[in-house]
Structures are given as structure tokens and as C-alpha cells.
Amino acid sequence: MNDVLILGEVIEGSVDTRTLELLEAGKKLGSGLGGGFSVVVLGDKLSEVAEQIVSYGPDKVYKLEHPLLKDFKADLWLESLEQVCRQINPKIFLMSHSFIGMELGPRLACRLNTRLTTDCIDLRIDPEDGLLLRTKPVYGGNAISIFKYPAEPQLATVRGKVFEPAEAVDGKGEIVDMVPEIDESMIKVESIEVVKEDVVSLDNADVVVAGGAGLGEEGGFEILQDLSKALSKSFGSVMIGCSRVAVDKGWISSDHQVGLTGTMISPDIYIAVGISGAIQHLVGMFHSKKIIAINTDRGCNMFKVADYGVVEDYEKVIPALVKRLEELS
């Protein structure tokens, strides 16, 4: 059955973590519909990738192989996915909220005469009519709305880190070979250059040290940087995060923002310094394995979700913590 179809993304020969998260979502949605889920993957020489994907439990992996699909070319991927959808008629089609998903999703929705809901943070099946309930932030993250549309396929892009990655299972699905009808005349964009950054992305960091309004000034992030450097000697990759208030005040750029209107993260350790814990922020870091809060307001929401809390001025706590870390390193 083709109740749920997932677009698989591959990075340097391995299945992207965001795709593994979609596999977990697809498994739950397929179960809710009383059916299963499948994956479509595009590229060239995909045998190993298809075997890797099938180990996570999909009923089928549609393997679209063609030399022209070796690298991401939006025009060819769009044409190929349209052909697949018209052939297998999935009820639900999920993509990551990545540059690939956002490039293909709107155009595919137009071609298939359906509607796309982007940046979803939750997906459920409505028990009354079996339609996909798509939850996403609206009004700049100040509200949450749930959408559903009857048109199929019910198309959505899903934000990273909102579902746990799927785990390998013993089941063995079917790998279906498909050759899309494409040629070079369909290519409008000849090449896309991907620039690799030297820094670890916020959502892949082992530790995130985040600051909020309680820092009092932009200079507070310099103190957080000292802690970040001290932690990096023992805890792997450490990144600086922040709340929306810190961005609005101009203290730090928006690419550091954690929360509904920023990045969803789940690091091993999350240290919240001067962050009160608004719900929009908590949603973005709630899955952190260990949460440490430093704040002078003992009644703030961050202490309610923290594993460890320090009620004290961060300008006293962090220098002492940095000194102790340096002594131990």
C-alpha cells in the first residue's frame, strides 16, 4: 500500500538524519491509516543506499536511478517525482524542510493540483476522517495552527529534530527499480554549488550554550564564548545559541536562534543562560538530553524543564565554571 511516501535525501552516500526522522514519522502515520509507508530516493548507483533505507522498515523503496539524477537538479527531480506520484498515488507525501524540500515542494504541489504545508512541527492522522493534521508555527512563531486539506497527495515539509530518528528493524521491504523519463532538455538550472561551512551547524552540536535577555547586554555573549571554548576541550562540538529576544535586541545574528522561529535542536547538553523559558523557545530545545539553567529568577519556566539549575548571576557563575573546567582539562 502507498499510504505514506517519503522523499529520501542522501548526503555523501549516506541517508540524511532528517530522512531518518521522516521514516519514524511515516511509520506512525502509516500505522494510523492502517497501512504502511514507502520511500522514494533519486540518484545514480543507489543500490547500497536503497539497502540502507530498507533496513528501517519501509514496505517499499522506490529507487529512481538515472545518470542525470546523480546531483540535485531541481527540474529533473521535479519531473521524476511527478511521474512517481502519478504512478503510485500516495495519500501523503513528506519531505524534509531542507533546501531540497523547499525547492521541490511548492512546484510539485502546483503540478499535482494539491496543497503544501511547510515547516511542520507535528503530524497526526485525524481519527474522524483519516486526513493528515499538519501543525506549524504562524504569525512569527507567536501562535500554532493545525491545517488539513482533502486534496491528495497531502503534501508537507517537516522541520528537523521534531521526530526521533528511526531505528533499524529486522523486517525486509521491497526495492522497486524505476527509470524516470527525463532528458537534458528539461534542465533549466545547469548547476548548484554547495559551499561547505567550516563550523558545525547549531542542530548538530554536541553542546549548545545559549543566552537570552538576562545577559543584559551584547557583551554577555563574550562570556558565553569563554565557556564554549572551555567546554569544547572535553565535550566535542560546542555552539552558541540564543533566544529570540537576544536577536531582536541585535546582540547576535538570527542563525543562532533556538525555538519555533529558529532552529530545533537536541544536543547532549543545553546550557540556558538568562533565558526565561517562553514556550516558543522550549519547543526548540526540549529534547536536549541534559538541560542546565542559569538565571537569577528562580521562578522562570526554564527551571521547570531543567535537569540542573543555578540561581545566581551568570557573571559570577560562568567565570568560576570556566576556571574549574580549565583546572580539570
Q: How many other β-carbons are positioned within 10 Å of the β-carbon of residue 309?
A: 18
Which residue's entry shows cell 491528495? Answer: 152
Render pLDDT for 9-27 as a digit per residue (tens, 0 to 9): 998 888 999 999 999 999 9
Render pLDDT for 150-178 as a digit per residue (tens, 0 to 9): 999 999 999 999 999 999 987 689 999 99
* pLDDT, the chain, mean: 94
Torsion of CA 105, 107, 111, 113, to 10 degrees: 60
Cell of 262: 529558529
Query: What is the DSSP secondary structure assignment for residue 160, as one 8-state letter?
Result: T
Report DSSP letters for 282-324, one per residue: HHHHTT-SEEEEEES-TTSHHHHH-SEEEES-HHHHHHHHHHH
Longest dimension (CA), the chain: 65
Strands annotated E in 129-264: 132-138, 143-147, 154-158, 174-178, 207-211, 238-242
Sheet with strand 154-158: strands edge to edge: 116-120, 154-158, 92-96, 4-8, 37-43, 60-65, 174-178
Q: How many other β-carbons are positioned within 10 Å of the β-carbon of residue 166?
A: 21
pTM reported for the whole predicted model: 0.86
Which domains are delineated in the chain? 4-186 (3.40.50.620), 202-328 (3.40.50.1220)
Q: What is the rounded CA–CA span in Å between residue 285 and residue 112?
A: 36
Q: What pLDDT, on the 0 to 100 scale, is given for residue 201?
A: 85
